[in-house]
Amino acid sequence: MTRTLFALIKRDLNLAWRQGGGALLGTVFFAVAVVLFPLGVGPEPNTLARIAAGVLWVAALLAAVVSLDRLFEADHDDGSLDGLALLPLPFSLVVAAKCLAHWLASLLPVVIISPFLGLMMRLEGDALGALVLALLLGTPGLSFIGAIGAALAVGLRRAGALLSLLVLPLYIPALIFGVAAVEAARMGLDPAPHLMLLFGATLFAVVIGTAAATAALKFDLE
C-alpha cells in the first residue's frame, strides 16, 4: 500500500517537473505577484511591513488556485483515473496521495522562496520566521481543500474560473490565522496560538478535502 502511494507521488512529482509549467507556474505567480507590491505601493518600509503578511498570504492562496486546475483533470482525460480507481487500496488514499504530491510540487517551493519575498516586504526576524512557519503549516490545507474544487470541476470547460470561485472562500480560515500569526510576531507577541489554529484548520482540510474530493470523483467515474 505504501509502495503504491509512493509510486503515485513519485509519478505526479515527475509529471509536474517534466511539464515545467505545472509545478513552477504557481511559484512564479507567487513571486511575481508579491514583487509587484513594492512597485505599486512604494518602497516605504513601514507600509510594506504592515501589508506584508496579507500580501504574501493572498499571493500564496492564488498560487495554489492557479496550480490546481489540472490536479485530476489530466488523469481523467487520458483514462488514468480509471486505473487509479482500480488500484487495490481505498480510493481516498489515492486522492490524498495526489493532494500531497500537489503540495510538494506546487506549494512547498512557495514556502521555500517565501523568506526572500518576506525580506523584500520588509519583514524581519521573528515575523519572517513566523511567516515561513505559518506557510509551512497552512499550505498543505490549501492543496486538500483545493482538491474538492478540482474534483468537482473535472470534465467542465472553463474550470479555472469556477475553481477560484469554489475554492477561494474556503481558504478564508487559513488566510485569517496565517496573517494573524505573522502580525502577532511582528508586534512582538507569541504567534504560537495562531499557528496552532492554522494547523488545526489544515488537519480539518486534510480530512474534509480527501473525503469530499473522493466522493466527487467517484460520482464522476459513474
Partner 1 sequence: MADSLVASRVTARRGGRLVFRDLELAVVPGEAVILRGPNGAGKSTLLRLLAGLLRPETGDITRAGVAIADDPESHRADLHYIGHSLALKGILTAAENLVFWAEARGGDAADAASALAKTGATAFANLEVRRLSAGQQRRVSLARLFVSPATLWLLDEPTVTLDQAAVAALARNMAAHLAAGGMIVAATHVDLGLAGARVFEMAAARGDDEAAA
Chain residues in the site for partner 1 (CB under 8 A): 3-4, 6-8, 10-11, 14-15, 18-19, 74, 77-80, 82-90, 221-222
Residues ≥6 apart with Cβ < 8 Å to 155: 73, 76, 220
Q: What is the CA radius of gyration of the chain?
A: 18
Q: Alpha-carbon distance 108 to 102, whole Å?
A: 9
State which residue, 35 or 211, has the beta carbon closest to partner 1. 211
CB of 7 to partner 1, least distance (A): 4
Please say which residue, 10 or 36, places its beta carbon nearer to partner 1. 10
Q: Do 183 and 51 form a contact (C-beta atoms < 8 A)?
A: no
Q: Cell numbers of 21, please?
A: 509549467
CB of 20 or CB of 169, closer to partner 1? 20
Nearest distance from C-beta of residue 13 to partner 1, angstroms: 12
CB of 70 to partner 1, least distance (A): 12
Which residue, 5 or 168, is less far from partner 1 as judged by CB?
A: 5
How many Å apart are CA 196 and CA 198, to the nearest integer?
A: 5
Q: How far apart are CA 164 and CA 96, in angstroms?
A: 21
To the nearest whole angstrom, how small is the minimum distance from the Cβ of residue 106 to partner 1?
Answer: 17
